[in-house]
Amino acid sequence: ITHEMKTLQTLFIALFVVAMVPSTQAQTADEILENYFENTGGVDNWKKIDGMKMTGKAAMGPQEFPFTQTMMADGRMLTEVDFMGQNFIAQAFDGEQLWGMNFQTQEAEAQDAETSENYKKNDSKDFPDPFLNYKDKGYTLELMGEEMAEGTEVYKIKVNKGTVMVDGKEENNVAFYYFDKENFVPIMSESTINVGPQKGMKVQTVFSNYQEAGDIFYPYSIETKYNGQTGQSIKIEAIEMNPEVEDSTFKMPEKK
Q: What is the pLDDT of residues 122-173, one digit of tens each?
A: 999 999 999 999 999 999 999 999 999 999 999 999 999 999 999 899 999 9
Q: Is the pLDDT of residue 53 over 90?
A: yes
Q: What is the pTM of this model?
A: 0.86
Cβ distance 226 to 198 under 8 Å?
yes
Comparison of pLDDT for 86 and 20, the residue scoring more: 86
Which pLDDT band holds residue 104 (cuts at 50, 70, 90)? confident
Rounded to whole angstroms, how far apart are CA atoms 213 and 44? 15
- The greatest distance separating any two alpha carbons of the chain, rounded to the nearest whole angstrom, comes to 90
**Predicted pLDDT at 255:** 75
Measured distance CA(20)–CA(13) in Å, rounded: 10
Selection from 134, 139, 137, 93 nearest residue 115 by Cα: 93
Q: Tens digit of pLDDT for each residue in 173-231?
A: 999 999 999 999 999 999 998 877 888 899 999 999 999 999 999 999 999 999 989 99
